[in-house]
Structure 1
Amino acid sequence: MIALLDYGAGNVRSVRNAVAQLGCQLTDITAPEDILRAERIIFPGVGAFGSAMARLQQLGYIEPLREYLAADRPFLGICIGLQSLFEGSDEAPGVAGLGIIPGQVRRLDPHSLSVPHMGWNGIRLTRTSRWLATEKSAKLYFVHSYAARRTASNCDWVLAETDYGQPFISAVQRGQVRAVQFHPEKSGAVGLEILRRFLTGRGQMTRRDQMIYAPVASATHLAKRIIACLDVRNNDQGDLVVTKGDQYDVREAGEVRNLGKPIELARRYYEEGADEITFLNITAFRDSPLADQPMLEVLRRTSEQVFVPLTIGGGIRAFTDQDGRFYSALEVAAEYFRSGADKISIGSDAVYAAEEYLNRGNKDGSSAIEQIAAVYGNQAVVISIDPRRVYVASPDETTHTCIPTTEPGPNGETYCWFQCTVRGGREGRDLDVVQLARVCEELGAGELLINSIDRDGSKQGFDLELIALIRDAVTIPVIASSGAGCPAHFTQLFTAINTVEAALAAGIFHRHEVPIAAVKTELRHCGIETR
């Protein structure tokens, strides 16, 4: 019996789907006694250390889980599932872990690199392993802000390390107890193979295996991510389609542009090598997101076929339904996570939350960003920023963060600031992108998606001035979007601003103008790390 330890937070549907893809069946652990009856346990980790441990305690799982692990029975921990094996974590001071492995989980250093560590990185085996062996160039998907490090007291547990500023533990194993910091269920074919080896019990080493799967000593590197974005809405016939706007206008000759079906396109992009898939929900259900069963079904069915991270944005916020029942943003997000989303993207509501924060001068826990991050972790919250240029003749004309620009305004202005907008770019606010980015990071966001109203659909390349401004303002990962028209634009972005972690595009992929493979080939040719 393969048992899933689902403590009620995060996207465990991906683990279920990955196991099903491999031809195995999962049984849910629903009571403490189920733990000791299990033949194999998978503990998938999504969320925050403190809330995860509190939930395990509440469910009465901690003592039987310790007993199961002490008996050296088959166990696979994923992300928080690995971190929970240690004595504690900086993420939740004073909260005890399971204490199976000596040591404390520490926060990654935000001074040299973006935190969370988000994206595709390699692993470096510290001892021979057939279970975890991969090709030297293989990448696996990581998303975390905290990690354990090798010490004299835990070195006999360490199976693999990964480099991000400094080495951290990316896999442990002693006997049949194993855990990984990365997400195999989100790591494509490589991750599925690692899961298969655990599920089938493969792992005994022959002498030939010891030569083939010997440890590799080379450093690992984080790859630049290429993300495919699908704007999804109802067309005039009521069908869900992928569309693309021209300066945010999705109609052409009076009809909604129909560039394909969302599930089919997502599958295509996964097969073509997209590192992530983002769905932007622009349907009529935005005002009542839990009634949007078609979009929830898109997520469910996509996650059965696509084993890279899925982000969903559009209308995920607190609301009151027609019957007068209030739903918090956390409740809404939870339904989307359960349906297959790995990350939630927040747009207009982030602007309103930032304005309220600046008026108050402090956090009060009321924003969707704070609520979702507290339960699911910062890495689960993406802020989608939709700015437009406002030109001025001199920085003295505005109180907002202003930059000199190489793209003069309509009257020859050589300075501009970037105004935040809401309602799909239709309404400007008295807030600039630096204010928004910094406040959202303070509230708990783990990633920023930088769109550009001025560049959207232009195929002139990314707005490097905008992206550099935001990249310098925050320590969390940044995704560049809007304006890509050819593979060289991606190279230009990562060369000019090498600290940007990812780039997103939509129309050029939908219309087959630029294949994802062509982008990655161009990047590799220029010496830029990709998956």
Structure 2
Amino acid sequence: MEATTAAPFSSCVTPRQNLSSSPSSLLLSRKNLGSANLKFKSPRSLSVRALTLVTLLDYGAGNVCSIRNALRHLGFSIKDVKTPGDILNADRLIFTGVGAFAPAMDENGPGFALLPLLNTIIIYDIIYSNCVFMSVKGLGVIPGTVGRFDSSAGIRVPHIGLNALQVGKDSEILDDVGSRHVYFVHSYRAIPSNENKDWISSTCHYGESFISSIRRGNVHAVQFHPEKSGEVGLSVLRRFLDPQSPSKQKPMEGKASKLAKRVIACLDVRTNDKGDLVVTKGDQYDVREQSNENEVRNLGKPVDLAGQYYKEGADEISFLNITGFRDFPLGDLPMIQVLRYTSENVFVPLTVGGGIRDFTDATGRYYSSLEVAAEYFRSGADKISIGSDAVYAAEEFIKSGVKTGKSSLEQISRVYGNQAVVVSIDPRRVYVNHPDDVPYKVMFSPLFSLLCHGLNEHGPNGEEYAWYQCTVSGGREGRPIGAYELAKAVEELGAGEILLNCIDCDGQGKGFDTDLVKLISDSVGIPVIASSGAGTPEHFSEVFETTNASDALAAGIFHRKEVPIQSVKEHLVEKSIEVRM
């Protein structure tokens, strides 16, 4: 979610303000109605139908696919809101949030046509998620102030990841959550105060305390994403929809206390020579077997592997389509189907990347990157990963110093919020004799760990310095921009997260390039995911202990079953690094 100013909530309904807010879910029942300075309908007894049918308000913004899948997974049927009467007759209503409120509610946005309906809800039933009433100016239902997280406090913004809640005594639906992590992804937070203290059911700490959920009368709203918080999040939805349901959470030995480090499973997906969509893994980006047949390395089916990794404890699944949508991305229906099928049973964040940019098809019809991204969001993606197109946008930005607003990175982050956009950086080391040889950030080579090259101190020809050259087209083409310069530029253009790969270390199993990870994670204020080179659980603890990486990603060691995800997490716990167990 993106907004530019912080402002107090007003006491009246003020739709169509210039603001942004975060995606989350509102959980609202007619049980335990209370007073909230707004008009409530009288409670009524719940019928058997109420325990099987859930009403969903979907106005076309954000990833509603995930909440639909979670509800169906829990055994509930869904009725979509089409008229105000559908809301007034609902026994359980869920209102999902959006990535950026202002674009959704402007005259060209998906929510604009529903503004009269939203006013009806406010007047009759106060049915809103935090993206509406916990906003900068929005609809102004809850008193208080919303503002952007203060990055000067040493935290990374957006707040992305698994964090712990401090649950109040009257939370009801959060009874199983207090000792566990839940998934957050937002840049703005509502500040606890005397004005809103009666609304707060839980808080969370990230640099400071902020409101993570509210409960007032028949209103439950959460800042985190239950549908992306694994089994813990599903229990929140289950307790809201069926308050009498018994807890299905297993006792937990430790307690969640802060933002956890995440272990992410990456699936490189492409068609093999037979035309089948498979998960593969490269060796320095070469995905073909070193054999006479020279066939594409096949490590399994993408949907099956994603489901397996979810069950094994992966905190996120990242799909990278390396076949590439080379001509028309929306024509790659198999990849879209992979997302749809995976999101039906995987309830952690799903990221997809590969070929996301503006396109003109064979008929001459133009498709913007925003349309491409929208299709992926509707198919189950939570975040979009942009690679080559972000490199080109950064080069232009550095050259001109002007943000055009036309790049895929800028378009998608403006509409869906910067937390929905990951930039994938694919650099390789280039050695030089002197720092003045190139106009990029250069490092003194003896500082390098050089794990991937097996060198002692210097480059292959005795060079004492090196820089990290960014590449495009799957590492096949080097560009005149360094990883440091690219990272700084894409942060400025609206990226919310960086996936930092390393061609030199890819597939080597000798460890992450911690010098590269440290260089980038020290230079930006957004989360950085370390990738490429993991071979043992110790490599994960090393990158977390020596750099400011927020998360770490691996592929081959999981695909080949060399290192189970659970073994990585158990090792991190032994090293006193907090993770979701």
TM-score by length of 2: 0.84
- Report the equivalent of 1:231: 268
- Report the equivalent of 1:519: 568
Q: Give CA deviations for 1:482-527 in whole Å, capped at 9, x if unaligned.
A: 0110000001000111x31100000000000010001001100000
SS at match of 1:285: coil
**Quick one: distance in 1 between partners of 2:112 and 2:121?**
11
- Report the equivalent of 1:28: 80
**Quick one: distance in 2 between partners of 1:69 and 1:240?**
48
The answer as to whether partners of 1:121 and 1:162 remain within 8 angstroms in 2 is: yes
The AA in structure 2 aligned to 1:162 is: C
The answer as to whether partners of 2:228 and 2:349 remain within 8 angstroms in 1 is: yes
Task: Report whether the alignment pairs 1:14 with 2:66.
Answer: yes
**Quick one: distance in 1 between partners of 2:477 and 2:268?**
20
- Report the equivalent of 1:458: 508
The answer as to whether partners of 1:395 and 1:415 remain within 8 angstroms in 2 is: yes
Once the two structures are TM-superposed, the CA of residue 472 in structure 1 deviates from its matched residue by 1.5
- Report the equivalent of 1:428: 478
The AA in structure 2 aligned to 1:517 is: Q
The answer as to whether partners of 1:419 and 1:433 remain within 8 angstroms in 2 is: yes
Once the two structures are TM-superposed, the CA of residue 136 in structure 1 deviates from its matched residue by 4.2
**Quick one: distance in 2 between partners of 1:47 and 1:188?**
21
Once the two structures are TM-superposed, the CA of residue 171 in structure 1 deviates from its matched residue by 0.6
- Report the equivalent of 1:467: 517
My pick for the range that moved more, 136-145 or 122-131, is 122-131
Change (3 A) 1:219 1:516: closer
Change (3 A) 1:68 1:39: farther
Once the two structures are TM-superposed, the CA of residue 322 in structure 1 deviates from its matched residue by 1.0
Q: Which residues in structure 2 correspond to 1:347-426 (within 5 Å)?
A: 347-406=387-446, 407=450, 408-426=458-476
Q: In the comparison of the two structures, how many residue pairs are matched?
A: 503
**Quick one: distance in 1 between partners of 2:223 and 2:85?**
27
- Report the equivalent of 2:113: 58
Change (3 A) 1:136 1:178: closer
My pick for the range that moved more, 152-161 or 47-56, is 47-56
Identity of aligned residues (%): 59
Once the two structures are TM-superposed, the CA of residue 338 in structure 1 deviates from its matched residue by 0.3
**Quick one: distance in 2 between partners of 1:434 and 1:32?**
52
**Quick one: distance in 1 between partners of 2:269 and 2:475?**
17
2:132 to 84, 88, 92: 84
CA RMSD of aligned residues (A): 1.7
Q: Which residues in structure 2 correspond to 1:27-426 (within 5 Å)?
A: 27-54=79-106, 55-59=110-114, 60-70=116-126, 81-86=129-134, 88-89=135-136, 96-111=137-152, 112-134=154-176, 136-202=178-244, 220-252=257-289, 253=291, 254-283=294-323, 285-406=325-446, 407=450, 408-426=458-476
**Structure 2: 5+ residue stretches without partners:** 1-52, 248-254, 451-457
SS at match of 2:572: helix
The answer as to whether partners of 2:62 and 2:416 remain within 8 angstroms in 1 is: yes
Change (3 A) 1:352 1:255: same
**Quick one: distance in 2 between partners of 1:522 and 1:246?**
26
**Quick one: distance in 2 between partners of 1:383 and 1:33?**
43
The answer as to whether partners of 1:404 and 1:416 remain within 8 angstroms in 2 is: yes
**Quick one: distance in 2 between partners of 1:422 and 1:152?**
52
Once the two structures are TM-superposed, the CA of residue 348 in structure 1 deviates from its matched residue by 0.5
SS at match of 1:335: helix
- Report the equivalent of 2:498: 448
Q: Give CA deviations for 1:360-402 in whole Å, capped at 9, x if unaligned.
A: 2110111001110111110100000000111112212221111
**Quick one: distance in 2 between partners of 1:199 and 1:51?**
31
SS at match of 2:144: strand
SS at match of 1:178: strand
Change (3 A) 1:68 1:512: farther
Once the two structures are TM-superposed, the CA of residue 68 in structure 1 deviates from its matched residue by 3.8
The answer as to whether partners of 1:115 and 1:477 remain within 8 angstroms in 2 is: yes
- Report the equivalent of 1:93: none
**Quick one: distance in 2 between partners of 1:52 and 1:33?**
23
The AA in structure 2 aligned to 1:424 is: G
**Quick one: distance in 1 between partners of 2:171 and 2:60?**
32
**Quick one: distance in 2 between partners of 1:323 and 1:83?**
39
SS at match of 1:83: helix
Change (3 A) 1:462 1:63: same
The AA in structure 2 aligned to 1:465 is: D
SS at match of 1:101: coil
Q: Give CA deviations for 1:15-60 in whole Å, capped at 9, x if unaligned.
A: 0000000110111123444333332221111311322444544322
Once the two structures are TM-superposed, the CA of residue 135 in structure 1 deviates from its matched residue by 5.1
**Quick one: distance in 2 between partners of 1:155 and 1:136?**
19
**Quick one: distance in 2 between partners of 1:419 and 1:470?**
13
The answer as to whether partners of 2:303 and 2:341 remain within 8 angstroms in 1 is: yes
**Quick one: distance in 2 between partners of 1:342 and 1:442?**
21
**Quick one: distance in 2 between partners of 1:135 and 1:169?**
15
- Report the equivalent of 1:437: 487
**Quick one: distance in 2 between partners of 1:68 and 1:97?**
18
TM-score by length of 1: 0.92
The answer as to whether partners of 1:491 and 1:523 remain within 8 angstroms in 2 is: yes
**Quick one: distance in 2 between partners of 1:437 and 1:363?**
15
SS at match of 1:431: strand
Q: Give CA deviations for 1:81-122 in whole Å, capped at 9, x if unaligned.
A: 213113x41xxxxxx322221122211111210011101111
**Quick one: distance in 1 between partners of 2:141 and 2:91?**
19
- Report the equivalent of 1:529: 578
**Structure 1: 5+ residue stretches without partners:** 90-95, 210-217
SS at match of 2:202: strand
Change (3 A) 1:32 1:130: closer
Q: Give CA deviations for 1:425-452 in whole Å, capped at 9, x if unaligned.
A: 1111110112111111111110000000
SS at match of 2:143: strand
SS at match of 2:347: coil
**Quick one: distance in 1 between partners of 2:244 and 2:218?**
11
